[in-house]
Chains A and B, each alone.
Chain A
């Protein structure tokens, strides 16, 4: 009886979106398909850096990723004729809205074929899910906040992304805009070569400040890692509080991040600036592990053999580029040239360790102070990323 009732219904389902279905990915098999989809999508893209499958699984596992202690995400898969053609996550970050006094829903993890029907279906699914929770507007992509990978690459597709930076096909910005998204904010990345010594003028100015203010810059003490993490955490959460899009990390998130980063860290490039013994600024530069990750191809093992692991380890020794991820100064110590000192020391150390250069990313397009400082050091804009927003109808 039920079967005969359903049949005519299927045939009446006409319209443009009839062939694409978007459903929540809840079963284990669906989540696996969600994680696997990018490996399919980017198969022929030489610049894509496949993340480790296991790292992605842990990231989406509420038991493993401390972000889920406060946030919620619903994963959706778009399918056509049973084949996965896109994915998206609806994201709710109550801490963000509390911190900024906003009422924004997020989305993230968006991947799609170059097909507006698919993209629209995905965005609408996330919008419907967010609407049910009372959000009038959505912002993204954020996976799942600005403390992690976020935004769409809109300029600078020629090279692989730096470690922990987003990457996507060229057609994404057009897809977003065709689906009614408008720019919320651009993020910039700068390229900095360390083959040349830094400009003499900058060195002189920095030395003067160092002397006058009693600034001591020292590398992180790995023997005292957990106490150092605590110091950095204090600066981090105090330094970014006025920034667009920033949300302070919880203790658990920060510790988790520190744990993940620890194997990448080159202690000499993790600098803490102290004024009269008080840590007031820090900068973190890490080797661009994407070079090594790319060699592994997303897996540590193949056919049960640690092929990826070996490739990863071998490639890791040949990393010649860096990424300066964060540079933060506590309120009250800004505009004193501390940033210049940190940049300078980073470049000097990088040269000494034999790195050829790196990326400074990302900065807000309207953070003129920082952007100007980077350019005065010799940084050249290399990539533009964009965060979009769209009202939820």
Chain B
């Protein structure tokens, strides 16, 4: 007989990471210095892992608005929007957002995650088909699971695949294409122009999750639809307040009938307590600033360009991103944790992103920036990356002679993504997974395969030996010296290999 708790005891990733001293999650922040720097474990570090893109979370005007709302309405609404949980502030926020986004109506929901659950669970009926990008945020995935609609996933940003799926679908079924505007981990944009074209051809509706682009992209900051000049062709947009809008909650905007239906039919809205007055007031004030201070957006794009190019010049791969989301490819997940830890010790807080958020072998350090970061802070981040990357062998000892400069999504440029390097493309497709040693894999090899592997290894060694150059001999001679200079790295490397071996072995097949 099995116990539902069995899996919890069998799950050992946490224990391995903790034992190795590499556990990076749930780090308590002890103090915040204007949001751009924080104290963690008594260490003051540059915050390069927050989604506070416009830097408004620390803005005195926003803080004051939140305080005033608490004074006026108390700390919570103690109930659902449907019943006792709506204040005049909620109504004002909805009206202001509808106007800001050029939509007939808007509804605000307590969290961004719930906003997607609310929209999809209410809209998708039994005979509807939803077409969803494989790279979509978990809230969209779960929203679809919560609905009765049938899901068809298309490969990340592969509009040809989307077209094939649309083509194959029942022409009479209701259709919705749902996609992130900016993909939160890789920082590239959805191909909205093509999606809109396909939607028109196959009579599908389009919903965009603009969590990472609202306030950031477009001349006025209205997100990817504005950036591409296609607001009239996208049916529903969703945004969150926890990123550019210095608060917590989400907004859904679209035609009045649709929004009104969702307001009355969606369980994630009607069975959940409403946004707190402080959150509503903060979002309201932030919206006012977003509209009044476009220079924050251009500063943010300058920063994005500086950081992408700065990292690329050192030899880092920042992938396809065209936004202030600057992912740095590491590859192996344990190495990613080690990198994160060393980076933290060097004074930078960033986020390690490992499977299942990305494909195995595509682990990355996700950095993101605020319009309020100073150049000095950004240079500190770059210095730390250079130092740590060299120490850990992620980048070469000397800067490469050239690099491909980044293209960023400034208004009017219409760029969607940067050209992926071969390594990035392969990693992103999950092709670099599991290259390390696994006892199980070895045990599964037949004797013939084993012989082939061995013979290949001998071939490689022979080839390398036959190709040794005078310089190589010098390098070989200095190996002990290098080993000595790297001695501080050796325990870390051993830890990495060891932890990987542990993680790979004895894993449940279904895990």
Chain A residues with CB under 8 Å of chain B are 1-2, 5, 8-9, 26-28, 52-55, 62, 69-70, 72, 74, 259, 299-304, 306, 309
Interchain CB contact (< 8 A) of B459 among A28, A54, A62: A54
Among residues of A, the one whose C-beta sits closest to the C-beta of B427 is A26
Within 8 A of A (CB), among B445-484: 451, 454-455, 458-460, 462-463, 466, 469
Among residues of B, the one whose C-beta sits closest to the C-beta of A225 is B470
A301 with B431, Cβ < 8 A, contacts A1-B150, A72-B422 known: no
Closest Cβ–Cβ distance, residue A297 to chain B (whole Å): 12
A52 contacts B462, C-beta separation under 8 Å: no
B466 contacts A302, C-beta separation under 8 Å: no
Check: B425 CB closer than 8 A to any chain A CB. Answer: yes
Closest Cβ–Cβ distance, residue A5 to chain B (whole Å): 7
Interchain CB contact (< 8 A) of B431 among A26, A69, A309: A26
Check: B168 CB closer than 8 A to any chain A CB. Answer: yes
Selected A-B contacts with CB under 8 Å, 22 pairs? A1-B151, A2-B152, A5-B152, A5-B168, A26-B422, A26-B425, A26-B431, A27-B426, A54-B460, A55-B463, A62-B423, A69-B400, A72-B422, A74-B422, A299-B459, A300-B459, A300-B463, A301-B455, A303-B455, A304-B454, A304-B455, A306-B462
Residues of B within 8 A of A303 (CB): 451, 455
Interchain CB contact (< 8 A) of A301 among B423, B426, B459, B469: B459
Check: B435 CB closer than 8 A to any chain A CB. Answer: yes
Residues of A within 8 A of B153 (CB): 2
Residues of A within 8 A of B258 (CB): none
A53 with B459, Cβ < 8 A, contacts A9-B168, A300-B466 known: yes
B431 contacts A54, C-beta separation under 8 Å: no
Check: B20 CB closer than 8 A to any chain A CB. Answer: no
Within 8 A of A (CB), among B384-420: 400-402
Residues of B within 8 A of A53 (CB): 459
Residues of B within 8 A of A69 (CB): 400-402
Number of interface residues of B (CB under 8 A): 25
Check: B429 CB closer than 8 A to any chain A CB. Answer: yes
Chain B residues with CB under 8 Å of chain A are 150-153, 168, 400-402, 422-423, 425-426, 429, 431, 435, 451, 454-455, 458-460, 462-463, 466, 469
Residues of A within 8 A of B150 (CB): 1, 5
How many cross-chain pairs have Cβ atoms below 8 Å apart between A and B? 52
A26 contacts B429, C-beta separation under 8 Å: yes
Among residues of B, the one whose C-beta sits closest to the C-beta of A252 is B401
Residues of A within 8 A of B152 (CB): 2, 5
Residues of A within 8 A of B429 (CB): 26
Residues of A within 8 A of B454 (CB): 304
Residues of A within 8 A of B459 (CB): 53-54, 299-301
In Å, the complex CA distance between A379 and B401 comes to: 44
In Å, the complex CA distance between A55 and B463 comes to: 8
Closest Cβ–Cβ distance, residue A57 to chain B (whole Å): 8
Seed contacts A28-B431, A54-B463; 4 additional CB < 8 Å A-B pairs = A2-B153, A8-B168, A26-B422, A300-B459
B466 contacts A26, C-beta separation under 8 Å: no
Closest Cβ–Cβ distance, residue A299 to chain B (whole Å): 6
Residues of A within 8 A of B462 (CB): 300-301, 306, 309
Among residues of B, the one whose C-beta sits closest to the C-beta of A260 is B467
A52 with B463, Cβ < 8 A, contacts A301-B458, A304-B458 known: yes
In Å, the complex CA distance between A303 and B456 comes to: 9
Closest Cβ–Cβ distance, residue B415 to chain A (whole Å): 14
Closest Cβ–Cβ distance, residue A226 to chain B (whole Å): 10
Residues of B within 8 A of A301 (CB): 455, 458-459, 462
In Å, the complex CA distance between A306 and B460 comes to: 11
In Å, the complex CA distance between A306 and B466 comes to: 11
Among residues of B, the one whose C-beta sits closest to the C-beta of A259 is B469
Closest Cβ–Cβ distance, residue A248 to chain B (whole Å): 16
B455 contacts A309, C-beta separation under 8 Å: no
In Å, the complex CA distance between A299 and B458 comes to: 11
In Å, the complex CA distance between A259 and B467 comes to: 9
Among residues of B, the one whose C-beta sits closest to the C-beta of A304 is B458
In Å, the complex CA distance between A5 and B152 comes to: 9
Residues of A within 8 A of B466 (CB): 300, 309
